Amino acid sequence: MELTPAFSGLVCTDCGSNFTVDVDQRCPDCEGVLEPTYEYDSVTPADLFDGGTTTGQWRFDALLPFGRDSAVTAAEGETPLVAADRLVDELGVGEVYIKDEGRNPTGTVYDRGMSLAVTALSDHDDPDSLEPLALASTGNSGQSAAAYVGRLGLRSYAFVPSRSAFSNKAMINVHGGQMRVVGGRYADAASAVDDQLATDYYSLQEFTTPYRHEGAKTVAFELYADLDELPDVVFIPTSTGELVAGIAKGFEELTEIGATEETPTIVAVQPTSCGPIAAAFDRGLDEPEPWAHPDTIIGELEVTDPAGGAEAVDALRRLDGAAVTVDDSDSLESATAIAQHEVIEMGAAGGAAAAGAWNWQEADQFSGDETVVLLNTESAVKTPDVLRSHLMGQGV
């Protein structure tokens, strides 16, 4: 694939070694996470935002590793930023928008990073040698991986826990991916990848490929492009850490190229019953401790030992962010209320963003004139059963 002019390779975030794109998993020296880097002095805001006629996130390829002409893409990104005026009064803030990532090709924000991760493989000398490609997933990223790897015609495996949503399992197969359903929870699926694949494989796991969190940063670019300025507070449903780390990097890059001077407040929202990143942030730890007894009905957010936990905590500290935990019932209530009043089909995981904003309102954390963004990370069609059963539990 074509590398972009400003891209200057991958750097290990642990030992500082530099690598070309030929080394595109963890650091071969120390197993650290590799981070794409750029010559920011060579990129202007006009370079980043004058994207021509390209549809989707690849219009921002001035700050992506690969050029739009070589992208493996289904026009992911460029999702609507929808004004939610009723919530303005309810939250007591200036403006509220829902960034609806449910409208990505496979209904998830993870399509952004998967498009980058698969593009990295698109002109490989010997593509068959990459097989199988594999990852563990709570569901959405496995579905996305099956879809994008299908564009290369290669074999992929998604390891999902038995509790993963039926729609995810079905669509992994519909997209042509292989699936292993692992009894138990996400941690069981994660450990099954090495146990069950008796061969080398190419990992599409977040923070093993350097590109999945890199794709998430285009959310930050789009928020700036749509609002002509940055929002003040962004609520992000948080599981693996890749969205917090990626979106924070995007905001920081806008300051690096001189588009803005400040970054928004990022609020990581996790379930009360599985909040390792929030706990680490609140306790001043550099890295989350694995959550021992998870118990959330929102399977997408049940990641007990997040691969990007340290990166997410670090990003929250750099950007003077915050972390909150919310009860499942509040997340589901928020998602159904938004479906009933704001049209948008907010997934169960997305509902956590709105519940987090309510948490802030109740704690008197808003000053009253903020522009607030709620990141809806997935479409409600992923988990209509979970949302409907919440209503039935209310006697509806």
14 or 327: whose CB is closer to Zn ion?
14
Q: How far is the CB of 287 from Zn ion (least distance, A)?
A: 16
- The secondary structure of residue 284, as a DSSP letter, is T
Q: How far is the CB of 290 from Zn ion (least distance, A)?
A: 23
Q: How far is the CB of 333 from Zn ion (least distance, A)?
A: 44
14 or 287: whose CB is closer to Zn ion?
14
Q: Which amino acid is at 283?
A: R
In terms of Cα–Cα distance, which of 366, 375, 325, 376 is closest to 91? Answer: 366
DSSP assignments along 192-213, one per residue: HHHHH--S--EE--BTTBTTHH
27 or 244: whose CB is closer to Zn ion?
27
Q: How far is the CB of 18 from Zn ion (least distance, A)?
A: 10
Question: Applying CB under 5 A, which residues contact Zn ion?
Answer: 12, 14-15, 27, 29-30, 32
8 or 191: whose CB is closer to Zn ion?
8
Q: How far is the CB of 29 from Zn ion (least distance, A)?
A: 5
- The whole-angstrom distance between residue 293's C-alpha and the CA centroid of its chain comes to 24
- The whole-angstrom distance between residue 14's C-alpha and the CA centroid of its chain comes to 22
The rounded distance, in Å, linking the Cα atoms of 218 and 177 is 26
Q: How far is the CB of 215 from Zn ion (least distance, A)?
A: 22
Q: Tokens in use for 243?
A: 């969205």
Q: How far is the CB of 17 from Zn ion (least distance, A)?
A: 5
Phi-psi label, residue 98: left if phi above 0, alpha if psi -120 to 50, beta otherwise: beta
Torsion 56-62-68-72 (CA) sign: negative
30 or 83: whose CB is closer to Zn ion?
30
Q: Tokens in use for 253?
A: 């890059």
29 or 229: whose CB is closer to Zn ion?
29
In terms of Cα–Cα distance, which of 226, 211, 291, 217 is closest to 249? Answer: 217
Element counts in the chain: helices (H) and strands (E): 14, 13
Query: Which residues, in sequence order, are CB contacts of 84 under 8 Å at separation 6+?
Result: 96, 97, 98, 338, 342, 344, 374
12 or 93: whose CB is closer to Zn ion?
12
Q: How distant, in Å, are the alpha carbons of 42, 43, 44, 108, 109 from that of 65?
A: 14, 13, 16, 22, 19
Torsion 317-93-78-143 (CA) sign: positive
Q: How far is the CB of 19 from Zn ion (least distance, A)?
A: 9
32 or 45: whose CB is closer to Zn ion?
32
| Helix residue ranges, H only, the chain | 45-49, 85-91, 110-119, 140-152, 166-174, 186-196, 212-216, 218-227, 242-256, 276-283, 309-318, 328-342, 348-362, 384-393
Q: How far is the CB of 31 from Zn ion (least distance, A)?
A: 7
Q: Tokens in use for 291?
A: 């959550």
30 or 170: whose CB is closer to Zn ion?
30
Q: How far is the CB of 11 from Zn ion (least distance, A)?
A: 9
14 or 47: whose CB is closer to Zn ion?
14
